[in-house]
Chain A
Amino acid sequence: GDSVTQMEGPVTLSEEAFLTINCTYTATGYPSLFWYVQYPGEGLQLLLKATKADDKGSNKGFEATYRKETTSFHLEKGSVQVSDSAVYFCAYSGAGSYQLTFGKGTKLSVIP
Chain B
Amino acid sequence: EAGVAQSPRYKIIEKRQSVAFWCNPISGHATLYWYQQILGQGPKLLIQFQNNGVVDDSQLPKDRFSAERLKGVDSTLKIQPAKLEDSAVYLCASSHSGSHQETQYFGPGTRLLVL
Contact residues of A with B, CB < 8 Å?
4, 31-32, 34, 36, 42-46, 49, 51, 89, 91, 93-100, 102-105
CB < 8 Å: which of A42, A96, A99, A102 contacts B42? A102
Q: Please name 7 further chain A to chain B contacts, defined as beta carbons within 8 Å, in addition to the given A44-B43, A98-B55, sorted by A numbering.
A: A34-B103, A36-B106, A43-B109, A98-B48, A102-B43, A104-B42, A105-B41
Query: In the complex, how many residues of chain B place their beta carbon closer than 8 angstroms to a beta carbon of chain A?
Result: 25
Contacts of A103 in B (CB 8 A): 42
Known: A103-B42, A104-B40, A104-B42. A98 touches B100 (CB 8 A): yes
B98 at the interface (CB under 8 A from A): yes
Q: Sample 21 A-B pairs with CB under 8 A, ordered by A number.
A: A31-B100, A32-B100, A34-B103, A43-B4, A43-B106, A43-B108, A43-B109, A44-B91, A49-B103, A51-B101, A89-B43, A93-B100, A97-B100, A98-B99, A99-B45, A99-B48, A99-B56, A102-B42, A102-B43, A104-B40, A105-B42
Which 4 interchain pairs have the tightest Cβ spacing? A102-B42, A93-B100, A44-B106, A43-B108
How far is it, in angstroms, between the C-alpha of A78 and the C-alpha of B99 when the chains are bound? 32
B96 → chain A, closest Cβ, in Å? Answer: 12
> Complex: how many Å from CA A102 to CA B44?
7
Q: In the complex, A69→B41 CA distance in Å?
A: 27
Q: Are B101 and A32 in touch, CB under 8 angstroms?
A: yes
Looking at the assembled complex, report how far the CB atom of B40 sits from the nearest CB atom of chain A, in whole angstroms: 7
Distance between B36 CB and nearest chain A CB, rounded to angstroms: 11
